[in-house]
Structures are given as C-alpha cells and as structure tokens.
C-alpha cells in the first residue's frame, strides 16, 4: 500500500492518471475506509486530497456557490442554503460531518445519499477534472447507478456549484434521529422564476429527479391542487425496492407525502424565512 500526498490538484490528477483504477482518492475516508475494512473495496494506493490547496474552497460568484470537493459536511451546514444545510445536519454524527467531504458524498453515488438528494434538488452542476482537462454536467446526470458515476478512471470530482437564489427545503425519514441511513429522503427547491426541482432518495437506483412531476409544475403557481397532482406523479415515477430498511409500498407513499409537504412549504414560506422553517417536529 502506497500513500501519496500531492501538493496540488495537477499533481493529484497526474498521480491518478499514472496509477490507474486501483489508486483511490481519499479525503475524509468515511466511506472508503469502511468499504476497505468490509472487503468491498480493494485499494493499491491512496492519493490524499485532504491537504491539496484550493480543493476545500467555497467561492461565491453572483447567485452561485462553488463548493470545492474537499469541503466537509460540517462546513456546508453553515452556508445558508436551506436544503443543503438541513441535509448535511442529518449526515452521520458530528465526527462524520467533520471528516466526510462533498467529493466523497457525490462520488460514492449512494441512492440514499442525503446530501446528493439535496444537491440535485438545487439543480447542482458537478465539475470533473483530469489531466485531460475539466468538464461539467448536471449532478443528476452524473449518477448512473448504485455506486456508479460518470467519472472516468483518471477523473476526480473537483467541485459542485449550486445556485444561492433558490428557496429550498429537505426532509428525511430515518429509523432514528442521527447516524441513520434514510428510509426515504426528499428535497425541493424553487427558483426566482418559479422553476421547481425535486430530489428523491432511496426510491430509485440513483438520487432521483421526478422530471414529469417537475414538468407539471413548470410555469404554474404552486396551488394546492397542482401540488397534489405533482406529488402523485412523483410517486408514479419512482421505482423503490423493499429491503430491511423499508418496504416499497411505504417508500412510494412517502414520496407522495414528502413531495407534497415540501412543495407546500415552498409555496407557503416567504423567501427569507426558509432557514428557520422547522420541517421536523423534533
């Protein structure tokens, strides 16, 4: 096992390019190390990103926030983007949130990734880099299956950019109030022009956007009737499975319930008031 500690993004990318598939980027290690211990992941060498300058930066430009891949969940709890903050607050416990990074969150591509669900609901864009250059794509398109992404073997997640001018909100159903993998998780946001985006977790092979439901809302005010119809549509778009965390029937029903609840909250809440919205009664 070789442990590399590159001093720049370029050096990290060059290392990954030469070391290949079985070299893994590591930052917080909160998922990778667990996978290695359980024998799910085999790693020949690590490329440590935790001290690479410029990778943990938060950059505001206009109505966007660019989040460096090495930013921790704990940092993002404080950035004033409601759904993102609420999602980050529910991840693991304080120790995990202090270590786990955004790059690891999206790179893991868990269908139950709470923060990934919040990010796709914010219409986030992910930026990927390799020695060949950089490219960007909507985060929702980045996920291709459970644990699978569009990353090429020599690529890394460089950043995720989210708008700062959307109202957003998040809700998670877990089996307990901390350190719990979600049973169902949902987030939604609305842009100043009224475009609605919804993110759903644990109900499809990837963090999922119910496009038909979103389409139904496009260009219409968020009336109670329209919200109900869109929520029902979202429930028809998902493909949940039954496992030891929850049944498909419940998950599908909760997609409708949570979509309706989140959209109503967006409709009812003044633009500035969202950070203080108590979604959970806990």
How do strand 2-4 and strand 45-48 relate by DSSP bridges?
parallel
User: By CB under 8 A, is residue 276 in contact with other proteins?
Assistant: no
Q: Which residue in the set 43, 257, 267, 269 belongs to the binding site for other proteins (CB under 8 A)? A: 257
β-bridge mates for residue 83, sequence order: none
C-alpha 133: how far from chain center: 24
User: By CB under 8 A, is residue 180 in contact with other proteins?
Assistant: yes
- Structure tokens given for 277: 């919205």
| Lookup result for tokens 């475009």 | 195
Considering only residues 182 to 241 of the shown chain, the ones binding other proteins according to CB under 8 A are 183
Site string for other proteins, 62-101 (x = CB under 8 A): -------------------------------x--------
Report the nearest approach of other proteins to the CB of residue 98 (Å): 17
Q: Where are the beta strands (DSSP E) in the chain?
A: 2-4, 23-26, 45-48, 58-61, 64-68, 125-130, 133-138, 143-145, 148-149, 156-163, 167-174, 182-190, 196-201
Give the nearer residue to other proteins in terms of CB position, either 31 or 214.
Answer: 31
Q: Which residue in the set 173, 217, 235, 238 belongs to the binding site for other proteins (CB under 8 A)? A: 173
User: By CB under 8 A, is residue 178 in contact with other proteins?
Assistant: yes
Q: Which residue in the set 205, 245, 267, 269 belongs to the binding site for other proteins (CB under 8 A)? A: 245
CA-closest candidate to residue 65, choices 135, 136, 161: 161
Applying CB under 8 A, the residues found at the interface with other proteins are 93, 173, 175-181, 183, 243-247, 250, 253-254, 257-258, 261, 281-282
């Amino acid at each position: 096992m070789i442990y590399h500690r590159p001093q720049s993004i370029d050096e990290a990318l060059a290392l990954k390019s030469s070391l290949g598939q079985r070299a893994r980027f590591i930052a917080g290690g909160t998922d990778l190390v667990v996978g290695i211990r359980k024998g799910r992941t085999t790693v020949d060498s690590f490329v440590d990103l935790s001290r690479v300058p410029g990778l943990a930066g938060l950059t505001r430009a206009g109505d966007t926030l660019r989040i460096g891949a090495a930013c921790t969940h704990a940092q993002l709890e404080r950035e004033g983007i409601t759904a993102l903050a609420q999602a980050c607050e529910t991840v693991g416990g304080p120790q995990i949130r202090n270590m786990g990074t955004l790059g690891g969150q999206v790179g893991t591509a868990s269908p139950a990734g709470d923060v990934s669900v919040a990010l796709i609901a914010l219409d986030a864009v992910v930026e990927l880099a390799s020695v060949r250059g950089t490219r960007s794509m909507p985060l929702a398109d980045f996920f291709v299956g459970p644990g699978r992404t569009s990353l090429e073997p020599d690529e890394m997640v460089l950043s995720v950019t989210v708008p700062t001018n959307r109202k957003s909100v998040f809700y998670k159903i877990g089996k307990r109030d901390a350190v719990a993998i979600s049973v169902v998780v949902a987030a939604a946001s609305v842009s100043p022009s009224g475009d609605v985006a919804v993110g759903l977790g644990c109900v499809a092979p990837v963090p999922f956007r119910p496009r038909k439901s979103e389409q139904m809302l496009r260009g219409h005010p968020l009336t109670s009737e329209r919200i109900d119809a869109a929520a029902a549509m979202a429930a028809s778009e998902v493909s949940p499975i039954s496992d030891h965390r929850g049944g498909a029937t419940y998950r599908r029903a909760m997609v409708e319930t949570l979509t309706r609840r989140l959209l109503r909250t967006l409709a009812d809440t003044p633009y500035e008031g969202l950070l203080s919205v108590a979604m959970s009664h806990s």
